Amino acid sequence: MSKIFETLNRGDGELADLIRPVVNGESASLSNDATKPNRNPERRVERVTQPQRPATESGDSLWEGIRSLDLRIPAPSPLLPFEMGQLKASEQYRILRTKITQHRKQPRLIVISSPDAGDGKSVSVINTAAALSLRSEAKALLVDADLRRSAAHFLLGLPETPGLSEVLQGTATLNEALVHTKEFPNLYVLTAGTTPANPTELLDSAQWPALCAKLHQMFRFVIVDSPPVGAVADYDLIQAACDGIILVVRPDHTNRDLLRKAIEGMPKEKFLGVVLNCVPNWSISREYGGDHYYQYAPAGSSKG
């Protein structure tokens, strides 16, 4: 068991003091088996049935020209755990969705980041956006704004370009870059696009906040993947245009000092909470007969 998880579970120590204010009542734990998909044969993602037509068929010019594509992800994979047989992970992402939708600040543009690479933020971004899209009245967009180490197109089996980079450079329109996923009628994806020579300058231009304003108009939720907190200037430019921040922490991997610095340096008014990723034997699981009931428990509580 990781030192981070032990500290959180005991509820004592410096690290617990840092995280506890944002964990109590406002975080969730995820029980993924990995942070990256296994490069094995593809898994067929079951289509979600929702009582509405995709927006691209609505006749609204705001949505014209958007591609509708099938997802192509490896199997097995921690991605999109919303099919039969994946109850534990899917319930945790639904808990996270509830925390977001019921939050007093009602955030809509949310950046999900991590203290360092490998904590599982990209998988968490994809699954959080998909969970939000399962609400029949809510269109959700996944934006890969990690222009240096993009992952969404690879993880989901989507074309790399055109994407965010091309939109910010003016070589593609937003609708040309957006992808509507056939399996999730309310889920859209904006990949990072071609890695630019000047990612910081692109995000520091007037085009980035203007694009965020347009996305705010089009979508109920926008979930943004970013570089790790403090790694490059890109993260600060991304979070400045968002109204919420979620931090992904991975037991047995996350560096304690980087985690402390990340929490201390975040705008407190935007910090929504911490997600524990890849947590083994998490105490919120309870078994009743053949079914499992997953209950959210604040760190250091006696539930479980």
Residue pLDDT, tens place only, 244-272: 999 999 888 888 999 999 999 999 999 99
Task: Identify the pLDDT of residue 290.
Answer: 37
What CA–CA distance (Å, rounded) separates 2 from 222? 32
Per CATH, which fold does 28-45+66-284 belong to? Rossmann fold (3.40.50)
Spatial neighbors of 8 by CB under 8 A, at least 6 apart, are 15, 16, 19, 23, 276, 299, 300
Query: Residue 178 is encoded by which pair of tokens?
Result: 């957006």
Q: What is the mean pLDDT of residues 66-87?
A: 86
More confident residue, 231 or 242: 242
Q: Average pLDDT of 197-207?
A: 95
More confident residue, 32 or 245: 245
**Banded pLDDT at 224 (limits 50, 70, 90):** very high
Q: Is the pLDDT of residue 80 over 50?
A: yes
Residue 70: its pLDDT value, please?
Answer: 95
Number of Cβ atoms within 10 Å of the Cβ of 225: 26
- Average pLDDT on 218-236 reads 94
Band of the pLDDT at 47, cuts 50, 70, 90? low
pLDDT value at 9 more than 60: no
Are the beta carbons of 258 and 116 closer than 8 angstroms?
A: yes
Give dist(CA 225, CA 22) in Å, integer.
Answer: 20
**What is the pLDDT, as a whole number, of residue 46?**
64
Summarize the confidence of residues 48-64 as an average pLDDT.
57
Contact 96, 23 (CB under 8 A): no
pLDDT of residue 14: 47
pLDDT at residue 193, rounded to an integer: 97
Burial 129-144, CB ≥16 within 10 A → b, else e: bbbbbbeeeebbbbbb
In this prediction the pTM is 0.79
Segment 286-293 mean pLDDT: 39
Spatial separation of the C-alpha atoms in residues 23 and 25, rounded to whole Å? 6
Tokens of 128: 């959080």
Question: What pLDDT, on a 0 to 100 scale, did the predictor assign at position 85?
Answer: 65
Q: What is the CA radius of gyration of the chain?
A: 19
Mean residue pLDDT of the chain comes to 80
pLDDT(299) > 80: no
- The four Cα atoms 107, 145, 154, 127 give a dihedral, to 10 degrees, of -10
For range 109-125, the mean pLDDT: 94
One-letter amino acid identity for 70? D
Does residue 289 come out as left (phi exceeding 0), alpha (psi in the -120 to 50 range) or beta? Answer: left
Q: Are 109 and 215 in contact (CB under 8 A)?
A: yes
Helices vs strands, H then E, count in the chain: 11, 13
The pLDDT score that the predictor gives to residue 124 is: 94
Average pLDDT over residues 56-62: 57
Question: Of residues 212 and 15, which shows the higher confidence score?
Answer: 212
Q: Please state the rounded mean pLDDT for residues 44-54.
A: 56
Q: Which residue has the higher pLDDT, 303 or 225?
A: 225
Torsion of CA 49, 157, 244, 121, to 10 degrees: 120
Give percent of the chain above pLDDT 70: 71
Q: What are the phi and psi torsion angles at 68 (to 5°)?
A: -110, 120
pLDDT digits (tens, 9 = 90+) for 124-183: 999 999 999 998 788 999 999 999 999 999 999 999 999 999 999 999 999 999 999 999
Beta-carbon contacts of 148 under 8 Å, excluding residues fewer than 6 positions away, are: 195, 199, 227, 232, 234
CA distances from 99 to 12, 80, 105, 186, 254 (A): 24, 19, 11, 20, 23
Whether residue 35 has pLDDT greater than 90: no
* H/E run at residue 210: helix 207-218
Q: Is 165 helix (H, G, I), strand (E, B) or coil?
A: helix
**Within its chain, how far is the Cα of 219 from the centroid?**
15
